[in-house]
Amino acid sequence: MTATRIGVEISCDGPDEHTDCPNSAAVRAAYDSVTARQVRANGREQGWTVRRRDGRLRDLCPTCRRPAA
């Protein structure tokens, strides 16, 4: 038997650090995406943004992202 890594899931961190995503959103899976970097790239194509908060990456779905100021 062979074990194959099937990838990672990126879920929305919510509109701010105290609130969960109201939609429990996750980046739609793509067959060829295995690493977190590849999944985040797919998310950007789907309207997601990635921001840094407190030194960590935060992934925001289109519902939770804020317009750029």
Across 29-35, average pLDDT? 86
Q: Decide: 25 and 63 in contact? Cβ < 8 Å.
A: yes
Mean pLDDT value of segment 31-41: 89
Return the domain boundaries, the chain: 1-63
pTM of the model: 0.76
Mean pLDDT over each residue of the chain, to the nearest integer: 86
pLDDT at res. 40: 93
DSSP H helical ranges for 2-69: 36-45
- Binned at pLDDT 50, 70 and 90, residue 67 comes out as low
Residue 6 has a pLDDT of 72
- The separation between CA 42 and the C-alpha centre of its own chain, rounded to angstroms, equals 9
Please name which of 57, 45, 68, 67 lies closest in space to residue 12, comparing C-alpha atoms.
57
SS3 45: helix
The alpha carbons of the chain give a radius of gyration, in whole angstroms, of: 13
Q: How confident is the model at residue 68 (pLDDT cuts 50, 70, 90)?
A: very low
